[in-house]
Structure 1
Amino acid sequence: MTTPDPGRAVPASPGPSQAGPPPGCPMHVAGGGGIPAGVPPTPLYGAAVADDPHGHYSRMRARYGPVAPIELEPGVEAWLVIGYAELLELTRNEALFSKDSRRWKVPAEGRLAPDSRLLPMTSWRPTLLNLDGAEHQRLRAAVADTLAQIDHRQLRETTEAAANALIDSWGPDGTADLIAQYARRLPLLVFTQLLGLPAEAGPHLIELISHFVDSSRDSVRANAEFQALLVDLVRRRRATPGADLTSWLLAHPAALTDEEAVHHLVVILVAGNETAINWTGNTLRLLLTDRRFRATLTGGRLTVADALEEVLWRDPPTQNFPGRWATGDTVLGGQYISEGDMLVLGLAAANADPAAQGNASSVHGALGGNRAHLAWGAGKHVCPAQQPARIIVETAVETLLHRLPDLQLAVPAGELSWRPSPWSRALVSLPVLYSAFTPPRPPVPERPAWTPPTTASPSDSTPSDATSTARTPDSGKPARRSWWNSLAGWWSGR
């Protein structure tokens, strides 16, 4: 996981103080959590967050400074930390800013509705995401060490095989939605393989996750089935270990219980899946809409790796993340914070903080190898899964561009829309056009040898790779022998 460059100069953050507002200061209002009286908090929901988040955060910075009062839903206030230095302070000072959401005053005061959409993101669970201190370190070590055992070459092979299977499943009309038919399906194909789930469970798992992540009417049932599937997996791997993440997690010296293991498999599957989806989609959008990157397909200077990094600066997969909860009255960024207040990490806004970054978050800074962005968080809770995520997303993008070198948007770039989420930066769809055939491949062996994809020109009528030859709509596909192909077929029939 990248961390901010320790050599980079950032403005000093006002030191936290245990002192509250001076006597008589009208900074606290009843139930207001420290929000200034008479100053309405800015909603962190609705069209503004989706349509123009950068302008939204810029206006908040101009009005409030590095820490802004926000409303997460009607009547539910919090603070959005949009200053780079202040966000570092927030993530590094565990004594003042806890990850334990049970400290949040809003639900304690009965002001969070039972059906609030904030519950999935803020409810306390016994995972590394919601703990501090020694217990957090124990669980984090188990997850980080488990992820470190992933064979990167094999991960590329698995991702490439899944990507090729999805592309092969598309129809002969030369159209696709790269969100619905590619980015949203690919990560779970990879994660189910990594976790050691049986092949027949893969399609069912993907269906279950789609239900409860989208809050469908079947979400309660889907969540129960999802938990049951993982409980069964943990029990089987406890009895019969294999070469997979579940077995490695159970074998870690941290000695996780079955319940702890299930909770952390949920974290890996759901959080990792959403991040990979959004990072893939946002990178493909950049490559298809920015002339600098389109030139790379004809041998230009910029690369897919450059595009991945620029997305982490400008449109990170998670634009805001909850959260931290104040353990006492303090001051951050010139704002008085009350005990029990919730503080949201404004990852995208902090990346764009002009006081901290100057030109570092510009194209030249990002493409020059600057990874001081905060897309992965910072401090002791920095995301431990960035390297596997990078491999999955980079391989997914490179495989797609290699297979379909003449890929282009099917609609004007200005017509692309974003999901109205305060947390994710995610496209609703990414419709594309390509040649009216999908280059087939020979039958995929169980473990295909991975080779770096070659760069092809958009003007080429056929791929230059010897393993991909042009296919007309009437020609047959190779026999589907692997689980990846059968799973891709199941998706295409949805």
Structure 2
Amino acid sequence: MTYPPQHAYPASRTPGGRCPVAPSLYGPEPDGNALPAFYEELRREYGPVAPVTVAPGVSAWLVIGHREVLHLTREEADFSHDPRRWSLLREGRVLPESPIMPLVGWRPALLYADGQQHRRMRAAVSEAIARIDGHELRRSVCATAEELIASFAARGEADLVAHYAQKLPSQVIIRLLGLDERTGQQLIWAITGTVAANADSVNASRRMGGILSELVAEKRAHPGDDLTSTLLGHPARLTDEEVLHNLAVMFLAGNHTTVNWISATLRVLLSDPAFRSSLAGGHLTVDDALDLVLWRHPPTQHFPARYATRDLVLGGRPIRAGDMLLLGLAGANQDPAILPPDGAPVVGNRSHLAFGAGPHACPAQDPARLITRTAVDTLHHRLPDLRLSVPESQLTWLRSPWSKGLESLPVRFGPRR
């Protein structure tokens, strides 16, 4: 199944290396503020599937059409998750030390598997997540949020990314995995370096693997009431290596996504008076607010990756076997074909693609929502007079090709004891 060519769009090639110039997803530009205009320009120039570069000399297709992203996520026969199919990698044109390899390189985990192998690992991961006690999780998030707020409340100022959003989900997740606090902090540093897509990402990925390997060995010998032990004891009989790499995927995707979701929601609350007023006046529930943020500012804008299994046409673009395609989640959410024509906000609608779609949709949406909702609600009630301490235009952004999340969110408020 392919879409018919749309001849209004140029048929030039980039991911195969035959076109020397393509818009870049790495580096400081575009930042989070410029992304909507960036997607609009891509759509005008290329349509729903655009050539981009994700690292120097490494090109791919960015899929920003809502319909095309659904096709990409649902048709496993046409688009594989296995990066060993990637033509640039097979041809030796992406080096093992490339900063993007820790995230796109093959692992024996559900994110990189198709068909039966994916279903086997996903069943284990989904059932392990389903066993998390929601009431206990909320209590843990509340307690962690209170501790973090207390650590900076007396100062009257804070960076809500560094002092709150980055710390809260990771501290909760390391407890779920069964890690002690010291080792958990080391894992957080390694995870942060892995997703940064910089010169140290390969070493950070190795450090992450070493920590998780020791955790799996410990829980194999002494199982407990935690995610790691649940995965090891699941009837799917995952190997230790599979458990290790599925834990890595869960932490990489779950922690980073939740940090950005919390940060983006707090930013909108601080910078959009209408949004804040609607929430305070009861016109929006907290969940409505969270979904509006997922529509406008999804935590991961460009999710890697799918690899074409054969030559085909998608969104009017000629895709060749082995091409890399990225899920342009933020761009697809802005597709004019699915938004209200009057530009009204999308309320009460969860057909956004912030968590992907199809058989590989994020299995941890519910705990991520609970953590984010509790984090935002607790901070909002404890420090209701929060205000940005710099103009919104001066906020700084991460440079990852996958996510243009906030690097910092400096605020002031009345000091509390």
Residue 312 of structure 2 corresponds to: 330
Q: Which moved more, 1:175-184 or 1:199-208?
A: 199-208
Query: Does structure 1 residue 405 correspond to structure 2 residue 392?
Result: no
Distance of 1:361 and 1:101 partners within structure 2? 38
How far 1:81 moved relative to its partner? Answer: 0.8
Normalising by structure 1, report the TM-score. 0.78
C-alpha separation in 2, matches of 1:169 and 1:211: 25
Decide which of 420, 423, 426 is 2:399's aligned counterpart: 420
Given residue 417 of structure 1, which amino acid in structure 2 is its aligned partner? T
Q: Quick check: 1:15 aligned with 2:7?
A: no
Cross-structure match for 1:454 = none
Q: Hey, what does 1:276 align to over in structure 2?
A: 258
- How much has 1:410 moved relative to structure 2? 1.0
Are residues 349 and 140 of structure 1, via their aligned partners in 2, closer, same or farther at CA, if it must alter by over 3 Å? same
After the TM superposition, which residues 132-151 of structure 1 pair with which residues of structure 2 at under 5 Å, given as runs?
132-151=114-133
CA shift, 1:45, in A, is 2.8
Aligned length: 413
Q: State the Cα distance separating 1:154 from its structure 2 match.
A: 0.6
DSSP 3-state at the match of 1:355: coil
Secondary structure, counterpart of 1:356 in structure 2: coil
Q: Which residue of 1 aligns with 2:179?
A: 197
- Alignment partner, residue 187 of structure 1: 169
Q: Distance in 2 between matches of 1:359 and 1:197?
A: 49
- Measured after TM superposition, the shift of residue 423 of structure 1 is 1.0
Structure 1 counterpart SS, 2:92: coil
TM-score relative to the length of structure 2: 0.92
Q: Per the alignment, do residues 130 and 434 of structure 1 end up closer, same or farther by CA in structure 2, a change over 3 Å counting?
A: same
Q: Output the amino acid matched with 1:15.
A: T
Q: Alpha-carbon deviations, 1:53-74, whole Å to 9, x = none?
A: 1111111111111111222233
Residue range with higher mean Cα deviation, 289-298 or 133-142: 289-298
Which segment is superposed worse, 380-389 or 45-54?
45-54
Q: Distance in 1 between matches of 2:99 and 2:201?
A: 13
Q: Kindly indicate whether the alpha-carbon contact (under 8 Å) linking 2:99 and 2:201 is maintained by their aligned counterparts in 1.
A: no
Would you say 1:234 and 2:213 are equivalent positions?
no
CA distance in 2, matches of 1:214, 1:43: 16
Distance 1:412 1:342 in 2: 38
1:35-74 pair list within 5 angstroms: 40-50=21-31, 51-74=33-56
Residue 297 of structure 2 is aligned with which of 301, 309, 315?
315
1:78, 1:307 → 2: CA distance? 33
Q: Aligned AA for 1:428?
A: E
Q: Equivalent pairs: percent with the same residue?
A: 51
- Look up the equivalent residue of 1:124 and give its one-letter code: W
Is 2:148 the partner of 1:169? no
Question: Does 2:227 match 1:245?
Answer: yes
Q: What is the deviation of 1:145?
A: 0.9
Q: Tell me which moved more, 326-335 or 110-119.
A: 110-119
CA distance in 2, matches of 1:278, 1:308: 12
Unmatched segments (≥5 aa) in structure 1: 1-13, 438-470, 472-494
Q: Aligned equivalents of 2:153 and 2:378: distance in 1?
A: 18
Amino acid at match of 2:362: C
Larger radius of gyration: 1
Paired with 1:423 and 1:193, the residues of 2 have a C-alpha distance of 27
Give per-residue Cα distances to partners, 1:77-119, cap 9 Å, x unaligned: 2111111111111111111111111111112222224432221
- Alignment equivalent of 2:363, drawn from 369, 372, 384: 384
Paired residue type of 1:80: L
Equivalent residue for 1:109, pick from 91, 99, 102? 91
Q: Unmatched 5+ residue regions in structure 2?
A: none
CA distance in 1, matches of 2:392, 2:46: 32
1:373-398, Cα deviation, whole Å (9 max, x unpaired): 00111111111011010001111111
Relative to structure 1, is the Cα distance of residues 39 and 395 closer, same or farther in structure 2, using a 3 angstrom cutoff? same
**Structure 2 CA distance, aligned partners of 1:384 and 1:225?**
26
Shift of 1:239: 2.8
Task: Give the 3-state SS of the residue equivalent to 1:312 in structure 2.
Answer: helix
